[in-house]
Each structure stands twice: as structure tokens, then as C-alpha cells.
Amino acid sequence: MSVIYLLISISIVVAVAFFIAFLIAVRSGQYDDDYTPSVRMLFDDELKITPKKEIQTTEEKHN
């Protein structure tokens, strides 16, 4: 069997794998909103914990 059959089958399998990945991505709704994720990825995971300054507030007390 010629090597060309093997190579082409491999390339088709790879292509099909990517195609399936695409289908899964569409199904999970990744193409519904194409803007928000681009902003979301720039947020830091950790919050900056600002050292608690003495905030002169009266309303805070009853929390």
C-alpha cells in the first residue's frame, strides 16, 4: 500500500478532529457572544485587597 493513502487518511482524520472541535464549540454557545470573553480574559483572577483604611462611615456599622 502506498504511503500516500496513509498520509491522506491521517490528514483527513486530523481535519475531522478539528471539525468536531468546531461543532462542540458552537454547540456550547461559544459563538453566541463573541465580545464579552475578549474583555473577561483581561481581568485579574485575584482581587487587589486594598488595606482597609479607616473609612469614616456611619452606615457601615449595621452590616
Partner 1 sequence: MDTQNCFHCGLDVIKAEEIIFDEKSFCCNGCKTVYEIFSVNDLTCYYDFEKSPGATPLDIKGKYDFLENESIVSKLLDFQEATTAVVSLSIPHIHCSSCIWILENLQRLQEGISTSQVNFPEKKVRITYDPQSVSLSKIVYLLSSIGYEPYISLENYETGKKNVDRSLTYKLGVAFFCFGNIMLLSFPEYFDVNEYWLDTYKPFFRWLIFAMSLPSFLYSASDYYVSAYKSIRSKMLNIDIPIALGIIVMFVRSTVDIVFDYGSGFFDSLTGLIFFMLLGKMFQIKTYSFLSFERDFKSYFPIAITRINSDATEESVPVYDIQKGDRLLIRNQELIPVDGILISEKAAIDYSFVTGEAVPITKNSGDKVFAGGKQIGKVIEMEVLHSVSQSYLTQLWSNDVFQKSVVQRHKSITDTISRYFTPVLLFIAFAAFGYWIFVDTTTAFNVFTAILIVACPCALALTAPFTMGNVLRIVGKQKFYLKNALVIEQLAKVDTIVFDKTGTITTNKKAKISYEGKSLSSENLTSIKTVLRASNHPLSRMLYDFLPEMKSVAITDFEEITGKGIRAKIHGMEVVIGSAAFAGSPDENAVLQTAVHIAINEQYFGKYVFNNQYREGLESLFKSLKGTYQIKVLSGDNEGEKSSLETLLPAGTELIFDQKPEQKLEFIKQLQEQGRNVMMVGDGLNDAGALAQSNVGISISENVNVFSPACDGILEANEFQKLHYFLKLSKKAMTTIRMSFGLSLLYNVVGLSFAITGHLQPLVAAIIMPLSTITIVSFVTIMSNFYAKKLR
By CB under 8 A, name the binding residues for partner 1. 2, 4-5, 8, 12, 15, 19, 22-23, 26-27, 29, 31-36, 39-40, 42-44, 47-50, 53, 55, 57, 59-60, 63
- Closest approach of Cβ 16 to partner 1, in Å? 8
Report, in Å, the least distance between residue 55 CB and partner 1: 6
List, in order, residues 6 or more apart from 55 with CB less than 8 Å away: none
